[in-house]
Chains A and B, each alone.
Chain A
Amino acid sequence: MKIPQLLIQHAAAAALVAALAPHAVAQEKVKFAYLKTTTMVPFFFAEQKGYFKAEGIDMEMIPVQGGPAAAAAVASGTAQIGYSAPTPIIIARDQNQPYRFIFALQWERSPDQLWGPIIASERSGIKSFKDVAGKTILTGPPGGLCELAWRDWLAKNNIAWSAVKVMTNPFPQHQATLEVGNADASCTPDPFYTSIKGSKVNPVLLGMGYLAEEKRRYMIDGVFATDTWIASNPKTIAAIKRAVGKATRELNGDKSIIRKILIDEFRLPAAVADTMKSDYEPELRMDAAELLPILEALKRHGMVKPGLAVTDVVADVK
């Protein structure tokens, strides 16, 4: 009979075409609420080069205005993962918000890997921490790393928190605030610190590092997600890790790409971009021990409850 033969031939042809056709990778949609900082360059580059797509991830990078905005974006479901400094996420976890870090992106370690400067303006007359009592200090966003830095450095120098007047201006306003004399000292990270160095503020460096005289290595920013998303997406997390790892190796081999992204995409002035440090770890990872110094400092200064464990804030990422 001809009809069954025709059917068999057509079925065989269809099977052959299906076998030979390239396997279409199902794209997992991931929205990432991020800030345009140097630590985000590998993610940006991976997205540009299609490394996420190659791993089956449809990554949408959503720029936000700060760590709290990233946390709000993740909480509302606008984004699945977010970028933040550790303190807002630890404080949120302390308030029973279900966030955990999945990757660390940047670290500090004494003496040569310190990024958080505590400075005073020349006009303030402050020469060391002992002179800060009674003065006005700038901390940046409340609950941020800079507030923790100030608390830690002041405590190390036996100055009570109540002995200083605290202002919480956004970082871009620190230079102007110091220059006109509304504040005397600040914790101002890059790129704003680089700009201040070349200004009429003529800063005096009081201390470097977000934790005073901490010898252990500790993370200062990372990528976080909710407990539910982390539990449901281990393969996606691994795929993100591979894509960013590939981008990082390429960037570490050619620093000019980093500079180009900072100037062209992140719109930093060239003079500032040239001073930004950019050595990326070859692989994304999360080590609970590296969040511990920050958590201990937060507890020390009463910014979180004593019972919060580091394992409550860190995902077990393979």
Chain B
Amino acid sequence: MHRLRVATSILGLVAVWQLIVLLKWVPDTYFPSPLATLQALWAGLLSGELSKALAQTASRALVGCIAATVVGIGLALLTARYRRLRQAFDPVAEFLRPLPPAALVPMAIFFLGLGWKLHGFILMFACLWPVYLNASSALKAVASVQLRTADSFGYGGWDRVLRVQLPAALPEIFIGIRIAASIALIATVVTEMLAGRDGLGFVLNEAAMTLRIPDMFAALLLTMLSGLVLNAVVLAVRRRAVGWHVGMTASNRG
């Protein structure tokens, strides 16, 4: 039933798209039909252009998300363990996180060039904050009964953080990771559009510059599908890591 609802929603969206094309609310030069887009997508995948670009973008987004997750959780554990570090770092985090990553690209090109360092910097900057802030908040919010129990068993310092707070905080940490995964894809595509040499963002921009609008839409569609796949990967990892929590909340809902 759920799958039927999902399929119906997607078909409804495609129907609206086709209706806009038929009614010519937007000139068809700039808004190709679903069929024209799928044809361009198929041609792009067959020629290898889109599949290669997809592999480049997806690998950058995945590596960036993983790196930001490791660094973000690591920072959150440090600030959970050392209160003074949290007091020093949190204001910096609040100051830096509103900066849109796209705004940093023109400046970053000058000292990082156009290669992997630029992508790495932008991805780390964009994805770090949702992971860190969710993890930091979750580690602070662990139930006091759990902490007192840990104390009574003689857990202190890092033992308390790693064996009690971290497992309890994981479900909320994964919320941050899911957000970071979406941001990773957005940041990757934007960087490729502004300063890339390959990837879906570059293909998108190049298609626009050479007036190949169906190819542009095909690249957009592929970007959206990549987002779905990336989200599915994160959910699969979450089920492995915190399956107990998923099951618990499902049974609480009845």
Contact A63:B197 (CB < 8 A) given known A72-B106, A172-B208, A266-B210:
yes
A179 touches B115 (CB 8 A): no
Contact with B along A176-207 (1 / 0, CB 8 A): 10010000000000011001000110000000
In the complex the two chains form, what is the Cα distance from A170 to B205 in whole Å?
11
In the complex the two chains form, what is the Cα distance from A188 to B197 in whole Å?
25
Residue of chain A at shortest CB distance from B207: A267
Contact A72:B206 (CB < 8 A) given known A78-B114, A176-B27, A269-B211:
no
- Chain B interface: which size bin? 20 to 34
For A175, the chain B residues whose CB sits under 8 A away are 29
- Chain A interface: which size bin? 20 to 34
Contact with A along B85-128 (1 / 0, CB 8 A): 00000000000000000000010011111110000000000000
Contact with A along B218-244 (1 / 0, CB 8 A): 000000000000000000000000000
Q: Would you call B195 an interface residue if the criterion is a C-beta within 8 Å of the partner chain's C-beta atoms?
A: yes
Residues of B contacting A: mostly: helix
A65 touches B211 (CB 8 A): no
In the complex the two chains form, what is the Cα distance from A165 to B196 in whole Å?
32
Instruction: For residue B129, give the distance in angstroms from its CB to the closest CB of chain A.
Output: 26
Residues of A contacting B: mostly: mixed
B27 touches A76 (CB 8 A): no
Q: Would you call B4 an interface residue if the criterion is a C-beta within 8 Å of the partner chain's C-beta atoms?
A: no
Contact A176:B194 (CB < 8 A) given known A191-B210, A269-B210:
no
A73 touches B114 (CB 8 A): yes
In the complex the two chains form, what is the Cα distance from A195 to B27 in whole Å?
14
A191 touches B211 (CB 8 A): yes
Contact A76:B211 (CB < 8 A) given known A64-B197, A176-B30, A267-B206:
no
Name the interface residues of A231-245: CB closer than 8 Å to any CB of B.
none
Instruction: For residue A230, give the distance in angstroms from its CB to the closest CB of chain B.
Output: 20
Can you pick out 20 interface pairs between chain A and chain B where the beta carbons lie within 8 Å of each other? A33-B114, A36-B210, A63-B197, A63-B206, A65-B196, A69-B114, A72-B106, A72-B110, A72-B114, A76-B111, A78-B113, A172-B209, A179-B27, A191-B211, A195-B211, A199-B29, A266-B210, A267-B206, A268-B210, A268-B211
